[in-house]
């Protein structure tokens, strides 16, 4: 999808069209602490891009419209997009909320060859959502991914089988999958500025510099060789929430209260999805941008704050550096296998645990009366509250 979050916002408010739009943290006049989630193409002309510090985005384009993310809205539109994908093939591998690989090998008799199917797919996505998508058509995942990025927005790039290496050769080496900043430094030291330069290197040179696995992968990808199949496992891998403080935080009780709120949000999201996790991960970023993560398992698959919070608090206290100001705190659940928390043991009493009964009651109240209709006492910040 093209600048997905921003495109949805423009669809919801047509007055935004033609203006720079940035979805992300509050810039607070250039003093904001978060990052850009998505920038539309008007904002990108000013050098604004995803994952950029929001303060930098504001300095580059202070006249942009800055909007907070609306996760539920984007998820609803995403489901519409993936419903279109599913109408063409059941071989769909999501890469995120707005992107996927589709294996359409078995769909050609019904819908035509790759280019024809891609055009129909784009039309159907636009018809269902009012949004544009860019599609890359190729026989290899890596090549299709790069092709989908080359003519955004509303692009369609076809790479015929047998022309992969020729297609990749002139592209900058930074487009090589898996080449991070350090790998790019090493590749440039070898004289590689394009993917074609990597393709013509002696494979042994790459292996000596990067090791068997990474060096061999760079050689194969640069030559357009990617034998990976489309994986249709759409199971949730992890689910997390994090927050960046407006001012670096030294009050540990305030940080723990924030972490408790994040645990509550993660637990509620798990219940909405009908999944329970077995691993809790806590993330801390200190004022110097040093980032620490700690993780631990829970005794039983969990989807309630009562099960997640004690583990998260313990991990926070282990990871904390006393005296250091904290910039960001986050918590993630992972290790999902269906919903084993709802399975009963042979000798256990019937019915779910009490904490889950309470959590589900709170979910129903919030759904009916609003998110703030029920709040934990521990999250109240003043005596008046």
Q: What are the residue numbers of the active site?
A: 99
Dihedral angle computed from the Cα positions of residues 187, 189, 191 and 195, in that order, rounded to the nearest 10 degrees: 10
361 burial via Cβ count (<10 Å: 0-12, 13-18, 19+): exposed
Cβ neighbours of residue 24 under 8 Å, at least 6 residues apart? 34, 35, 36, 37, 38, 54, 57, 66, 68, 69
Beta strand spans in 195-307 (E): 238-249, 277-286, 291-302
List of long-range contacts for 268-271, beta carbons under 8 Å, 24+ apart:
268/359, 268/363, 269/239, 269/241, 270/239, 270/302, 270/303, 270/333, 271/303, 271/304, 271/359, 271/360, 271/363
Query: What is the spatial distance between Cα 237 and Cα 210, in angstroms, rounded to a whole number?
Result: 28
């Amino acid at each position: 999808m093209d600048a997905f979050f921003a495109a949805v916002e423009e669809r919801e408010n047509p007055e935004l069209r033609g203006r720079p739009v940035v979805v992300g943290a509050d810039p607070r006049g250039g003093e904001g602490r978060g990052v850009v989630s998505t920038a539309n193409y008007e904002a990108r002309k000013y050098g604004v891009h995803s994952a950029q510090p929001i303060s930098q985005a504001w300095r580059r384009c202070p006249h942009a419209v800055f909007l907070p993310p609306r996760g539920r809205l984007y998820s609803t539109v995403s489901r519409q997009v993936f419903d279109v994908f599913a109408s063409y093939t059941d071989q769909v591998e999501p890469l995120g909320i707005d992107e996927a690989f589709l294996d359409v090998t078995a769909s050609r008799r019904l819908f035509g060859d790759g280019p024809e199917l891609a055009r129909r797919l784009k039309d159907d996505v636009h018809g269902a959502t009012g949004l544009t998508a860019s599609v890359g058509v190729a026989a290899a995942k890596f090549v299709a991914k790069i092709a989908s990025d080359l003519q955004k927005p509303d692009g369609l790039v076809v790479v015929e089988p047998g022309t992969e290496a020729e297609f990749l050769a002139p592209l900058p080496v930074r487009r090589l999958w898996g080449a991070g900043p350090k790998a790019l430094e090493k590749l440039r030291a070898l004289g590689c500025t394009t993917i074609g330069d990597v393709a013509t290197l002696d494979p042994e040179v790459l292996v000596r510099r990067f090791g068997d696995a990474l060096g061999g992968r760079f050689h194969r990808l640069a030559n357009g060789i990617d034998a990976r199949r489309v994986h249709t496992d759409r199971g949730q891998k992890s689910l997390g929430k994090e927050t960046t403080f407006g001012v670096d935080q030294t009050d540990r009780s305030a940080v723990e209260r924030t972490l408790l709120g994040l645990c509550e949000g993660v637990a509620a999201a798990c219940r909405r999805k009908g999944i329970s996790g077995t691993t809790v991960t806590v993330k801390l970023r200190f004022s110097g941008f040093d980032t620490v993560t700690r993780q631990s398992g829970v005794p039983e698959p969990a989807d309630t704050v009562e099960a997640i919070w004690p583990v998260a608090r313990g991990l926070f206290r282990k990871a904390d550096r006393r005296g250091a100001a904290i910039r960001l705190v986050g918590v993630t659940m992972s290790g999902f296998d269906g919903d084993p928390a709802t399975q009963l043991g042979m000798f256990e009493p019937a019915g779910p645990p009490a904490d889950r009964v309470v959590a589900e009651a709170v979910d129903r109240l919030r759904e009916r009366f609003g998110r703030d209709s029920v709040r934990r006492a521990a999250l109240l910040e003043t005596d008046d509250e």
